Amino acid sequence: MSELKGKLLAGKVLVKPVAAEERTASGIIIPDSAKEKPQQGKVVLTGASKKDEPMEVNVGDTVFYGKYAGTELSIDGSDYLLISQNDVLYIA
């Protein structure tokens, strides 16, 4: 993957979602129609801090976010999720 270049607005985070599970723990293959939307990913880009809210998320962090958070984007053939720092529930 080529390095993404660009600038995000203050308080925004660009995340590369982790791929959904292909099989269950017992080995059953999950069809595409039954797969759940991923709720975790790796931070690719971050915006600046807001005036009253410091940016706590860093590039390379693994984050967990809400199921319906953010906006899905496709950049250079890769899928990303643009979320607000407020949508991040947990930083691993």
Q: Using CA atoms, how far apart are residues 26 and 85, in angstroms rounded to an integer?
A: 36
**pLDDT-based confidence at 36, cuts 50/70/90?**
confident
Can you say whether the dihedral through the CA atoms of 89, 90, 91, 92 is positive or negative?
Answer: negative
Task: Kindly report which listed range (4-8, 56-60, 66-70, 74-78) carries the lowest average pLDDT score.
Answer: 4-8
pLDDT at 80: 94
Bigger pLDDT: 7 or 2? Answer: 7
Tens digit of each residue's pLDDT (9 = 90 or more) over 71-80: 999 988 889 9
Is 12-91 in CATH node 2.30.33.40?
yes
Tens digit of each residue's pLDDT (9 = 90 or more) over 13-33: 999 998 777 777 788 877 777
Write down the domain spans for the chain. 12-91
Q: How far is CA 55 from the centre of its chain?
A: 16
Q: Using CA atoms, how far apart are residues 48 and 57, in angstroms rounded to an integer?
A: 10
| pTM, entire model | 0.81
